Structure 1
Amino acid sequence: MPAFDDVAWRLRASLVAVVALLSVAASVAIWLAVSHLAERIARVSDEDHQRASTRATAEAMSSLQHQREAALAGTARMLQPAASDEERAQRFTVLASSLGTVFSASFLIDALGQPLARADEHGVQLMPAIGAMDDRTYFQEVMRTRKPALSQPIAGRNTGRVSIVMAQPVMDGQRVVAVVAGVLRLDSGDIGRMAVGRLPGAVRVVTDDQGQILSHDGGLALQRLPLSRESRFAEAFEAWRAQGSPRSTEGFVTVAGGQVVAAVPVSETPWLIWQARPVSGLQGALDDELERTLQWTIGAVLLAGSLGCAWIAWRLRPLGRLVRRVQRLTAPMADAQPGVGWPGGAGELGQLSSLLRLLATEQDGLAHAHAEIQTRLRAVLAAAPVGVAFVREGVVELASAECCRLFGNDAPQMLGRAAHELFEEPDGFQRFQQAARGAAALGVPYGGDWRLRRSDGLGFWANLRSRPVDWDDLSLGEIWTVADVTEQKLVRQRLEWQSRHDPLTGAANRMFFDQRIARVLGNRELFSPAVLIFIDLDHFKPINDTAGHLAGDEVLKLVVQAIAAQSRSGDLVVRLGGDEFALLLEQCSGMAALAVAQRIRAAVQEIVVPWEDQVLRVGASIGVAELTPDIRTAQDWVAAADAACYAAKTSGRNQVQMSPPRVVLR
């Protein structure tokens, strides 16, 4: 049987002359028609272009608003750890520069509406004289709802400049302790500064949902006036109101007042983008010309087609049957008998028919096998309790329903995503690839916990496992399985902390203390000089006996706070039991440790706890023991510090003693 390419070539050779002649005639006619049709399409599509342009501007403005919200939220989080309004104001002066990239000005006010700090083009000012803000609607809304608020246009008390304020609460638990806000000035063009999507000759306006102009391409003269006062938009605005002021994301488009006008809302704001562009005046002439062009084109094509079709019909009569059979094969409905109904005969068409019948039969078998595999694969992916993805050359090519859910995408969004976007850290995917390839080189799958990122930017802990599709050819891709283990991670961290700390005071417990001492003794060169301080409270037992254990617990917590306040952040504060405490100082000399011990003794002595009709006080007897070469074990070191503490106790209490006793500080 001749090859398909050979048969097809001989068939094409017999048709080329006619096809060439018809192509030339039809191409000329079609080119003339299309050139005129293109001009009309350009006119008719003005509305679609206007809608798309305005929507692009609205999406860009929405994106900028999200950046502003994120900047305020990030600043509020950075202000949360502050213990006082003064500390928050100082922190704000450092953070204000980042807000300056998206706001004309920013300020911080306390929970009573009093200004703490302000930043604008003149710099940063603490306690600015701008008056109390407690009467501002946006401040009252934030305090009531504990959520961000967006103000209506308001005039500044000192400058008189009209602005819109975005306010964000600063939380301490469930309590609003301050409000951080960014200022968008209308006269600075902060609202309508987007340059994307503008069509030539178009005028763009930003309004609120009542039609008040917030920004206008023409400048400040029309700001804060109703849109009905702008002649290019007046009729369109009334039509928009007559339809119920729709805020569909698809947008509102109309032709009114000689303008094509589109309006699209800015998501999550009360604002709308309006854009107007003059209507083309060539519609009538274009229709006349189009009609004449179509008449000429139709006549030419009909004449050439009639001549060509008559000759082709005579020359290729058997081809009609073959074409109809091929159409059955390619129809949307499956061909139940792909090997039946093909025309026979000799010659080129008979040979071509035989080839097509053979190909159709083979294709049908492959299609059935492929469909069965696809059905099984979809069932497996849909039922998989963990996320499953196929990744090749750093791109996700297949993902299960659970995988899409974990990353916050639907299936079309997930397919084609770059794998490095799924990792929270910039170099996360690179490090994961190195680990997975190292495991593959050993012939084993890889698995580990990684920080991944959802499409909304939120991170989560996941157990991510990978194995190659083909161990001998890693370029064929990998199969990933993903399981969210964020909750397990948090529980594990909480249990680890609880196992190493005293539940009453939050200080380290004896187990953690023993581990840290063992670490120091195991690597003296790294941690020396090192000092161990033992602290035994004086007169604590009478507090428990007279005021009760609740009072005693309060005193113990204050003692731990006093010890921590006189220590470095890396020093280990330990509750050994009862009223006995320890402090482990690494990289600290004996003389420096004596000074620390003296400060702790003084701080404990200053603790005063009013309790019912009593005033509770305690003292501290403190022993200090350096890590010397003769100390071999943890027991030796603890015994030395304990002996020094006992010496301080028996020498009159409220003292600091060195081991061996050398200095007594009172």
Structure 2
Amino acid sequence: MRTSVRIEALTRVLCSLQGRLLAGLAATWLVIVGILLLLAWQYGKALVDEVNLEHLRDESHLIADGLTEKVNRRLNALARLEVVLQGVSPERLGTFLENSQVLMEWFEGIMVTGPDGVVLADWPVVEGRAGLETAETEYFRMLRRLRRPYVSEPFVGRASGDDLVLMLVPRFDEQGAFAGVVGGMVNLSQGGLFQWLERSWLGEEGRISVLSASGELLFHPRRPPSVANGEAYNGLPALDRALGGWEGETVARGVDGESMLMSYRQIRPANWVVKVALPRQQVRAPLGDYLVTLWWAWLALAVLLMFSMRWLVRRLLEPLHRLERQIAQVGAGERRYLALSTNMNELSQVACSFNRLEHERLLALEHLQDRQAFLDAVLGSTPVGMFVADLKGHVNYMNPALLELLGLDASCGPSEWWERIHPDDRQGTEDMWRHSLRTGNDFMRQLRFNHPGGITLWVEVHASQVRESDEPLGFVGMVKDITERRQQEALQRWEAEHDPLTGLLNRRGFQRRLEEALAEYSKTGTPSVLILFDLDHFKPINDEGGHALGDEMLRRIAQVVAWEVRRSDHVARQGGDEFAVLLPSCTLKQAGEIAESLRQAVSEVTVVNENKVYSITLSMGVTAFQEGDDAVETVLERADAASYEAKAKGRNTVVMAAPYDESLIDSPW
């Protein structure tokens, strides 16, 4: 619950103008800072790479110059020794080498060979080295061919097992002919040739490497020489170029795939290559750290600026808040117009525009109130019930005439109006009203309304849609009381189909019901039976007692017949003393029982005139609907024929029209 409240409060703050301005300023600040940092990173990387490549070039120059000097010193020392050994016999070479002890500071050992490559002497003496054949070695062939100082490829010493190189100078006799070589062995791991490089500092990941002409590693501060395992740093494009004699700086991938800044320099006397490398990650790390620090500094500055900008924005938006409060006061009726004092031209223009619109609104409101008063007077004085509904169908106004007609008061809701519609008419009225709302067509319907006084009114409702500029505004309706008219129409319909003397159906009404029953029989096969009967001995009543006595007898007979038949049956006086009974949904057997009951009941009806009692009997013809009956005349003729047959048989009897099943009727007469 608290979390949702906090989120809602934060949403309100961010959705306000002040919150949006501050959020926009913060976003703009972050975007600008981000762009500046990105540009600084991009340009800084290039600048850092350039500066460090310059640094690597200087470092590689210093290292290459230092190694060149050390190699030259050793080669020069061997050259001086070669001069001393000229003319010395092979037997005395060992003595001279022993006396050259000072050279042992630079070399692990010294050897002298003859022109045939056989080792004549060595110092210190190593068993088996004197007399060793070297004519087929790479360095002897190279030196004999070039006849200038040469440094061999690294190899593993047989005695020490260390990685060694031979620095060699050629020997010449008095005639200048090649007389062999003088060579000094340099230990790559323990000698002083590369020890000073171990003290060189190029950062935690900086690398200084010395490689031979074949690419074999001679020196690396974090890795021993690779002669023993045959490791060679070839196959890299930049290194291949350097082994071919190129010098310079480049950016390339190292053997481990890491991007490196590299500088290559040649050590010409030894035909070696110096490689100085720095990982790009190490070079750029200070720049990245600086930019991260700068980012946090700018972020802290942004937070401080947000507080100051919040205060400034609140000051700037204060006139807007005053405008908001005054507009709320105008809406509440506490003031009529805005009175805003501010130097912000935009807000002043808004206030002026609002005052102008408010003035126009008040004028329009007064005009509408006048029109409303006029319309209320017109609607209130009209005797016709009228109502107004919106486009959703809600009745929001009923004039006094309508309220009086329906027995409602002005406070009643729309639901009470609908609830008082007769249940049999309510659903149809609602469907037609929704159709009019949806299509805009006129609504016209006659319906029954339950008046609060306990009576049921028949009303006629007619509503039309009101439009202005082709835009629907609502509905205006008129309600008329048609109760008396409906009652008159109902009475007229009743009189048109009923006998005024007996209240039974007349020939016209009975004919319609007979047609309906025959149509139902043709459609569904529902059985119905028709009974026609005449009154026996009715003429003496009229002749002796007069028409008044005859009419009284007819009324009594009609009453008895109506009592004896079912509520669903139809009884009619066809004219004179002829009567008819229609028995819907009735079998012939049931009809026979009903006919017998009628005959017996009517025979007990009497009238008295001058102490004389008159009674009558019935001659009844009965027929059921049969297949092939396509008109009511056919059924009437069949029943009429049966009635005449009953008279012919002596009256006071029931005759079933053929064909029929005699087992269905058990007649005692």
State the TM-score, normalizing by the size of structure 2. Answer: 0.44
Q: Which has the larger radius of gyration?
A: 2
